[in-house]
Amino acid sequence: MQKHQSPFPRIYVERTLAIIKPDAIHKSEEIEDIILTSGFTILQRRKLQLSPEQCSDFYTEHHGKLTFPKLTAYMSSGPIIALTLARDNAIAHWKNIIGPIKASDTHPECLRAKYATSELENALHGSESFHVAEREIKFMFPNTLTVPTREETEEYLSRYVNQTLLQGLTELCKHKPLNPCVWLAEWLLKNNPNKPQICDGAVAEEAE
């Protein structure tokens, strides 16, 4: 039997963090227009000024590099705009639009070539990977609800759910109750491994 495919393609929506840095803040409206016309949705927007300590925490992977003091000084020198962007393949697409750090010679059409002041003051930031994006979005927007990855979900189910559920389904097959859904729900509540169990002896001893 031939399977019928949906006429609508499945699109995996990805998130990335964009930052309009201090040297490009005066062009923020223009940059945000480019972001929107490039197919992104701006999920979150926040204008703020970071302290040198906050910059140090944000750029933790740059610790130890010779440019690190200049980087934290630059990023704390004025206000920035943090943006959570979403679209299919958002991380790679945004990195492609902003271009590399040394952009003026090799990528004259990219945003850094247009808005950057120097190699250090390079106008824009983009997350390097999925896990980096999640960390950076959480840093800039602390109240953001983080959606677990497929791997994290599978690990949680394997560790905390699957074994107990399998036992419950096995007991369900043995008892064959008239209302299997209610029976299974009650069994899972009674046999929840994360729920502390109090034996009758302990209750009787406590009452004496």
Q: Which two tokens stand for residue 173?
A: 């097959």
Residue tagged active-site, from 63, 125, 131, 175: 125
CATH code at position 156: 1.20.890
pLDDT computed for residue 202 by the predictor: 47
**Which residues are 125's β-sheet partners?**
19
Whole-number average pLDDT of the chain: 85
Q: How do residues 13-59 score in pLDDT, each as one tens digit?
A: 789 999 999 999 999 999 999 999 999 999 999 999 999 999 999 99
Cβ(127)–Cβ(91) below 8 Å: yes
In a domain, 134, yes or no: yes
Q: Which two tokens stand for residue 34?
A: 């480019």
Whether residues 41 and 136 fall in one domain: yes
In a domain, 198, yes or no: no
62: annotated active-site residue: no
Average pLDDT score over residue span 163-183: 91
pLDDT computed for residue 203 by the predictor: 47
Parent domain of 166: 150-191
Percent pLDDT > 70 in the chain is 82
The SS3 assignment for 8 reads: coil
Whether residues 28 and 124 fall in one domain: yes
In a domain, 196, yes or no: no
CATH code at position 76: 3.30.70.141
Q: How do residues 91-117 score in pLDDT, each as one tens digit?
A: 999 999 999 877 667 788 899 999 998
What is the pTM assigned to this prediction?
0.66
Whether residues 127 and 164 fall in one domain: no
Give yes or no for residue 160 having a pLDDT over 50.
Answer: yes
Average pLDDT score over residue span 132-136: 92
Whether residues 45 and 106 fall in one domain: yes
User: Who wins on pLDDT, 133 or 149?
Assistant: 133
Whether residues 59 and 128 fall in one domain: yes
Whether residues 87 and 182 fall in one domain: no
Whether residues 118 and 182 fall in one domain: no
Matching residue, tokens 């962007």: 85
pLDDT computed for residue 199 by the predictor: 53
Name which of 155, 130, 108, 169 is nearest 15 in CA terms.
Answer: 130
> What's the rounded Cα separation, in Å, for the pair 146 and 125?
21
